[in-house]
Structure formats: structure tokens, C-alpha cells
Amino acid sequence: MNIVITGASRGIGYELVKQLSSNSQHTLFMLSRNAMQLEKLKAACLALSPSARVIPVPCDLSDEQSLKAAVALISKNVSSIDILVNNAGALVNKPFASILKSDLEYVYQVNVFSPIRLIQELLPLMNGKQRAHIVNISSIGGVQGSVKFAGLSAYSSSKAALVCLTECLAEELKEKNISINCLALGAVQTEMLEEAFPGYKAPVSASEMAHFIADFCLNAHKLMNGKIIPISLSTP
């Protein structure tokens, strides 16, 4: 399978690439602004599996020209994409009254607008014989009725937009042989979690969550479309 993963330079994205690259039948395109970290990830994948097929794609998803260049590089290497994982995320932790317009623009650009543009740009490549799968990585904080946290209004509302986008596109893309689902993640031990809640220890590691997501990416679209799946040890 040909797989595109954003936010690959750290956290869940980093671990997801490592796990999926163990199968040499997969070609993985790793997107991140951090080109140096992508090269380190490539080396780590090859050390674990010398036959791994991993292609670093340095890309600033918030920049239109950078995004188009990334898609051009992907198109140069493969004629179709089977899986797209919109994993990249941005977080601002501020009291609502202190949030600036620039804060909102930054969070929504990465968490909402960039996935929209990347899906649009990659749609022509989602033309393989088998059904393509788009997986949006949201947050349990973006799901109605879940526990909310002070300071995360920009982040959680942007992730709620990604949830709704998933449901809308499932209807619009179903005739194009494309499924789209959304995973609303609870607390996972990543750099982003540490930024939001310094000192907090999550009950799930990035590697553990990546293991679940890897299987979901490869198989869930055979059974579901347009579904929002909460993945959290807390209730609600």
C-alpha cells in the first residue's frame, strides 16, 4: 500500500511510520516541517527493517506552495495513494480571553485547513483498484459531551471541526471508492500532551496508540465509513 502520514517527525506519527514500515509491501511518505527528524526516522526504520520503503517529504502544511510541492513529490513516486493519515496537529493553551487572532489562525490552519487542502490535492491519486482510506486524527476534546479543559478552546474546537468534516466527506466521497473515518484520541504520552499538561503522565504511550491506529488504517474502511471513534480510557 502507498501511505501518506502527516506529523511524522514526533509522537504518534513517528511511531506509526516505524510500525507500518516493517512491511516492505508498504511505501510510506512521511510529512513534517522537520527535515532532519524525518531523516532520523528513515534511518530508524531501515535499522529495524532494511527493506523498509520510507520517503521523507519535508513540508510545511500551512504553506500552500510547500503543500503542493509535497504532493508533486508523492505523485512523482507513485500513481495512487491507498491511505492518508491526517495526524499533524497544533495546540495553543491559553485562557479564552487571551487568545489572539494569530493563535486561532495557527491552530485552525494546521488542524483544519491543512487536512482539507491535502485531501483535495491527493484526491486524484486515490484512484486505486482497492478502496482508499482517509483517517483523521482528532481529539476526544473535540467530541460533544466529552470532558473539556480550560485553555484548550482553540484546540478542541478545531478538532471538533475535523470530526464534522469527516462526516461530511464520508457522504461526499463514498461514490469515489474512498472511506473516511476519524479517531478521537484521549490522553497519549506525547510531546504535545506535555505542552498542554506539563508533568501529566498519560495511561497510553505513543507506541501503543500507533499500534492501534496502524491496524485501523489498514482494515477499518472495510467495515465502516464516516465514523467517529473515541479512543480513550476515560468516560465520557
To 10 degrees, the CA torsion angle through 179, 38, 46, 77?
50
Under 8 Å CB-to-CB from 7, ≥6 apart: which residues?
13, 31, 32, 87, 88, 89, 137
Under 8 Å CB-to-CB from 11, ≥6 apart: which residues?
188, 190, 191, 192, 206
Domain count of the chain?
1
Is the pLDDT reported for residue 118 higher than 60?
Answer: yes
CATH number at residue 33: 3.40.50.720
53 inside domain: yes
188 in Cβ contact with 209 (< 8 Å) = yes
Question: Which grid cell is 56?
Answer: 521523507
236 inside domain: no
Give the domain extent around 165.
2-231
Kindly state the percentage of the chain with pLDDT values over 70: 99
pLDDT at 235: 65
Lowest mean pLDDT among 26-40, 66-80, 111-125, 178-192: 178-192
30 inside domain: yes
Mean pLDDT of 165-172: 97
179 inside domain: yes
